[in-house]
């Protein structure tokens, strides 16, 4: 997914970013040790070893039913009156193909080290050999066309291996659809709900029938039923959400992560589906904000060049790292809005964005390890939590603007879960 905005939506420039401060978000664990999330690492139970259930193959044996997904959080519970909301952070990956650069296993290793979960938006074509590309019939495009190309057979195998590992380690497998068409007559931005249904059906088929399409018998089945696993996605270039949502609702999806330029506030539903956008976050040293995705950092630093002169790389790496960290701190120290970050397994500009994401990931994990109730989860795990909260509590949380603390603190603000209290009138936080 590639999209960018050179201007923020909030009118918060470098000065407001600096006002967020460089302190941690504090020790804010639940006071009740019996509640989900009382431990900073409660979102990913340990140890990570599991007993593998016997697989029941589905269809041609490309996928299988292996029972409940391992390494999932305890069942979520509603916030108690006056309880501080957890700080949710979702790292997600568009495409999720392993192309020989080692990035997929690198970030799986990182997540395992810190007992965190992520969402992988798999492009269906990444499991389809190029020799079978005419099986793909994209809306408003020639049969077999793709703006992201096809993987080599070895890279398809590597992708299968890593997708399997990801699910077994507790991560979510969503969809980034297939051909990634972002411009011209065939752009996903012009597709109808019926065309989105065709694209989704094909994306699922490429996952559910990879064994038939490849003829390979030396790899194990994927350990999940994709018809049940797939509950959300992100569209190419954040285009076409309005026409996608009716189809997503028809399919029973629980969320969509395709909105562009969202604000760091608590989300709501559209057509009964959680709308979970990438967000505008502070961009250090600049007078506008940047979307919380690696490609958007690149677009605002090197004007879309993925191989800019190397002397720029150290400064850009620091800037993008601090952008991610300041976005996290602004939420965690104020309105506690969930924080969504999107990435690609790409070595753009010498790999600096992968380094930035890893540094920010480790910073957030350290906050959790110091005692903050920070939960590094998948989108699916996040909406599990949202779905059990009281509507009136979520409505109050949505009254908090970007960088705004609750009036009187969380105990007062959410002290009466059924009240309709108002947020602080102090404006954006000036946390030091």
What does the pLDDT look like over 311-358, one tens digit per residue?
999 999 999 999 999 999 999 999 999 999 999 999 999 999 999 999
Supply the pLDDT for residue 25.
75
pLDDT classification of 53: cutoffs 50, 70, 90: low
**What fold is seen in the domain 14-28+72-413?**
TIM Barrel (3.20.20)
How far is 182 from 176, CA to CA, in rounded Å? 13
- Using one digit for the tens of pLDDT, what is the confidence trace for 158-189? 999 999 999 999 999 999 999 999 999 999 99
Q: Which of 289, 296, 323 is nearest to 4 (CA)?
A: 296
Contact present, 401 and 426 (Cβ < 8 Å): no
pLDDT > 70 in the chain, percent? 84
pLDDT classification of 260: cutoffs 50, 70, 90: confident
Supply the pLDDT for residue 429.
38
Whether the ω angle into residue 364 lies within 30 degrees of 0, i.e. cis, is no
- Using one digit for the tens of pLDDT, what is the confidence trace for 366-420? 999 999 999 999 999 999 999 999 999 999 999 999 999 999 999 999 998 555 4
* Residue that wins the pLDDT comparison between 334 and 18: 334
Contact present, 172 and 233 (Cβ < 8 Å): no
pTM above 0.85, yes or no: yes
Supply the pLDDT for residue 261.
78
pLDDT classification of 26: cutoffs 50, 70, 90: low
How far is 279 from 327, CA to CA, in rounded Å? 9
Supply the pLDDT for residue 15.
33
């Amino acid at each position: 997914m590639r999209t960018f905005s050179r201007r923020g939506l909030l009118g918060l420039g470098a000065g407001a970013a600096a006002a967020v401060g460089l302190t941690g978000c504090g020790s804010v664990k639940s006071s009740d040790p019996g509640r989900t999330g009382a431990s900073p690492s409660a979102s990913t139970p340990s140890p990570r070893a599991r007993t593998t259930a016997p697989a029941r193959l589905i269809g041609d044996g490309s996928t299988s039913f292996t029972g409940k997904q391992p390494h999932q959080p305890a069942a979520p519970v509603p916030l108690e009156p006056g309880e501080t909301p957890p700080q949710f952070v979702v790292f997600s990956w568009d495409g999720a193909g392993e192309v020989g650069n080692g990035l997929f296993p690198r970030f799986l290793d990182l997540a395992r080290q810190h007992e965190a979960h992520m969402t992988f938006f798999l492009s269906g074509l990444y499991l389809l050999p190029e020799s079978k590309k005419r099986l793909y019939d994209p809306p408003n495009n020639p049969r077999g066309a793709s703006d992201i190309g096809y993987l080599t057979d070895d890279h398809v195998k590597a992708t299968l291996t890593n997708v399997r590992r990801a699910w077994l380690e507790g991560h979510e497998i969503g969809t980034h659809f297939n051909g990634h068409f972002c411009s011209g007559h065939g752009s996903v931005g012009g597709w109808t709900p019926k065309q989105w249904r065709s694209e989704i059906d094909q994306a699922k088929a490429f996952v559910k029938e990879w064994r038939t399409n490849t003829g390979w018998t030396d790899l194990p089945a994927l350990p999940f039923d994709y018809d049940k696993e797939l509950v959300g996605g992100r569209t190419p270039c954040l285009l076409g959400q309005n026409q996608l949502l009716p189809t997503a609702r028809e399919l029973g999806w629980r969320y969509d992560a395709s909105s562009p330029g969202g604000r760091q506030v608590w989300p709501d539903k559209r057509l009964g589906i959680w709308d979970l956008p990438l967000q505008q976050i502070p961009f250090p040293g600049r007078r506008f904000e940047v979307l919380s995705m690696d490609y958007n950092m690149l677009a605002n630093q090197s004007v879309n060049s993925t191989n800019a002169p190397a002397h720029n790389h150290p400064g850009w790496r620091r800037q993008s790292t601090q952008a991610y960290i300041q976005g996290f701190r602004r939420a965690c120290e104020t309105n506690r809005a969930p924080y969504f970050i999107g990435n690609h397994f790409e070595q753009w500009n010498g790999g600096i964005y992968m380094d930035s994401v890893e540094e920010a990931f480790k910073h957030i994990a350290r906050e959790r390890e110091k005692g903050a109730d920070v939960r590094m989860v998948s989108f699916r795990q996040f909406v599990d939590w949202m779905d059990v909260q009281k509507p009136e509590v979520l409505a109050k949380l949505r009254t908090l603007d970007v960088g705004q603390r609750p009036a009187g603190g969380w105990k007062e603000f959410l002290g009466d879960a059924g009240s309709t209290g108002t947020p602080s009138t102090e404006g954006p936080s000036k946390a030091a």
